[in-house]
């Protein structure tokens, strides 16, 4: 059964969710107070790089199921459910999610509702947010609004797939009417095998943070194992493979790299740790993971310095700035820390990323940018791979070697086959296993 939905916020989560709900057959209006952004989207300019999203937005707009507006009140009055999908950036002092935008949207919704409305938090919010929203509703008279938690589990670079082929749909509400509406909204996915979990808002809010904190733990663990493997002469990829054969552990998120980043893992783990301390039940494992991930990024700088005999005056080519492949997102990207530390150490850095350079420019000072991947090798003492873009695996390494001052390839994603590096005349320094020099 088609429903009428408003999604407030046309950022990463809001735009993906709005377009995907339209694909499920619902009538969706996406709201943003930025008139320029709305105009750009309506002109076909998608503000984020996400595979499949541009085609999806175009198709659903053409079908008449997806529209855009700056008029929050009109969108709310016309909708059965309003999804809050605005940003919750970490507060500078505490690291806790800043709920200013969430609360502002909630107030705008409460000002405009006409009849029973489900107010859904799709933004990632700390546990207890639903109770804060419910308290706001109780302060008003004569409105019928049910608060519901519905966290997103979208991987950047795979977001459209993750929505339309969801493994699980988590709904937290104290109102049966709201839970029934949410089930109806997601019915096409449930009928295709997505698991619907209906619970309390507090449990729903924690599922999101706990999931990301646990995945962060797996990444931090295998990164620590990678550093140990280098010290004792083991191969971290074989260690990970052996671990992953145990069904209780599994192979996913056991691939070493320069550290985890993005808009979710660092922020969510910190928010969970802070919430746990505030509740009087500290999560020492999560707090250690946060420290471990930060330390690991600095350890990668040391690894690079050791490979080139110090940083001062060295020319370093960097391949990859985005926190992962398939996205232009540089939020909390390990590359930002690593590149900044290389520059502080006196290195001259030239970087390339297929999608993320424009987003990186305001955040990185004192570096150059290449128009093509191979150009970072020009006069370089080393080339460092920081993001696992598939095209980096298939570069012409012999041609790159000819442009380099010294033949050092530091592969912090273990993309390059050792035999290819050796055939190109490169000394390969992978992560978590022996160098091929």
Residues 34 and 68 sit within 8 Å (Cβ to Cβ): no
Q: Is residue 234 part of a domain?
A: no
CA pair distance 359, 103, nearest whole angstrom: 28
pLDDT at residue 94, as a whole number: 86
CA pair distance 83, 209, nearest whole angstrom: 19
Q: What is the largest CA-CA distance in the chain?
A: 75
pLDDT at residue 3, as a whole number: 98
Active site residue 264: yes
Q: Is residue 344 part of a domain?
A: yes
Q: Is residue 221 part of a domain?
A: no
The residue segments making up the domain with residue 42 are: 4-199
Q: How many domains does the chain have?
A: 2
Residues 300 and 412 sit within 8 Å (Cβ to Cβ): yes
pLDDT at residue 95, as a whole number: 83
Which segments are annotated as binding site for substrate?
153-156, 208, 253-257, 261, 324
Q: Is residue 335 part of a domain?
A: yes
172, 286: one domain: no
pLDDT at residue 93, as a whole number: 84
> In Å, what is the CA distance from 217 to each residue of 122, 152, 269, 315, 331?
24, 20, 9, 34, 19
Give the mean pLDDT per block of 10 residues along the chain (437 residues). 96 96 98 95 91 96 97 97 95 89 96 96 95 95 94 94 97 98 98 98 97 97 98 98 97 96 90 94 97 98 97 98 95 97 98 97 96 97 98 96 97 97 97 93
Which segments are annotated as binding site?
32, 37, 88, 124, 153-156, 208, 253-257, 261, 267, 324, 331
DSSP-derived secondary structure for 118-135? EEEE-S---TTHHHHHHH
Kindly report whether the global pTM for this prediction surpasses the value 0.85: yes
137, 31: one domain: yes
251, 171: one domain: no
29, 130: one domain: yes
Q: Is residue 223 part of a domain?
A: no
Q: Is residue 134 part of a domain?
A: yes
CA pair distance 39, 391, nearest whole angstrom: 34
Catalytic residue of the set 17, 30, 229, 264 = 264
Which segments are annotated as binding site for NAD(+)?
32, 37, 88, 124, 156, 267, 331
């Amino acid at each position: 059964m088609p429903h009428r939905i408003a999604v407030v916020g046309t950022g990463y989560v809001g735009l993906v969710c709005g377009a995907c709900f339209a694909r499920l057959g619902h009538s969706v209006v996406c709201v943003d107070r930025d008139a320029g952004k709305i105009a750009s989207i309506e002109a076909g300019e998608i503000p984020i790089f996400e595979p499949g999203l541009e085609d999806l937005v175009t198709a659903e707009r053409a079908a008449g199921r997806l529209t855009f507006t700056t008029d929050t009140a009109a969108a709310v009055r016309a909708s059965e459910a309003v999804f809050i999908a605005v940003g919750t950036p970490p507060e500078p002092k505490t690291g806790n999610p800043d709920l200013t935008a969430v609360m502002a949207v909630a107030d705008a919704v409460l000002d405009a509702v006409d009849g029973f409305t489900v107010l859904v938090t799709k933004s990632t919010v700390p546990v207890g947010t639903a109770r804060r929203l419910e308290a706001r509703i109780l302060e008003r008279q004569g409105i019928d609004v049910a608060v519901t938690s519905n966290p997103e589990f979208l991987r950047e670079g795979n977001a459209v797939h993750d929505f339309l082929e969801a493994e699980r749909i988590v709904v937290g509400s104290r109102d049966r009417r709201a839970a029934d509406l949410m089930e109806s909204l997601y019915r096409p996915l449930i009928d295709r095998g997505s698991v619907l979990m209906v619970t309390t808002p507090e449990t729903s809010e924690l599922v999101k943070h706990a999931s990301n904190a646990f995945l962060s733990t797996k990444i931090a663990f295998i990164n620590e194992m990678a550093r140990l493997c280098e010290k004792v002469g083991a191969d971290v990829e074989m260690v990970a493979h052996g671990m992953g054969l145990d069904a209780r552990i599994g192979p996913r998120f056991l691939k070493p790299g320069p550290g985890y980043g993005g808009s979710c893992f660092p922020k969510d783990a910190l928010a969970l740790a802070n919430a746990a301390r505030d509740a009087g039940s500290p999560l020492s494992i999560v707090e250690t993971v946060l420290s471990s991930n930060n330390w690991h990024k600095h350890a990668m700088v040391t690894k690079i310095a050791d490979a080139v005999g110090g940083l001062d005056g060295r020319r370093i080519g960097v391949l990859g700035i985005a926190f992962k492949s398939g996205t232009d997102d540089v939020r909390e990207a390990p590359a930002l820390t690593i590149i900044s530390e290389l520059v502080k150490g006196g290195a001259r850095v030239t970087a390339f990323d297929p999608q993320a350079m424009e987003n990186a420019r305001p955040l990185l000072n004192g570096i150059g940018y290449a128009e093509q991947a191979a150009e970072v090798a020009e006069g370089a003492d080393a080339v460092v791979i920081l993001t696992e873009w598939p095209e980096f695996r298939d570069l012409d390494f012999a041609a790159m070697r000819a442009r380099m001052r010294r033949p050092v390839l530091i592969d912090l994603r273990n993309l390059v086959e050792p035999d290819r590096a050796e055939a190109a005349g490169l000394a390969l320094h992978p992560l978590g296993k022996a160098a091929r020099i």
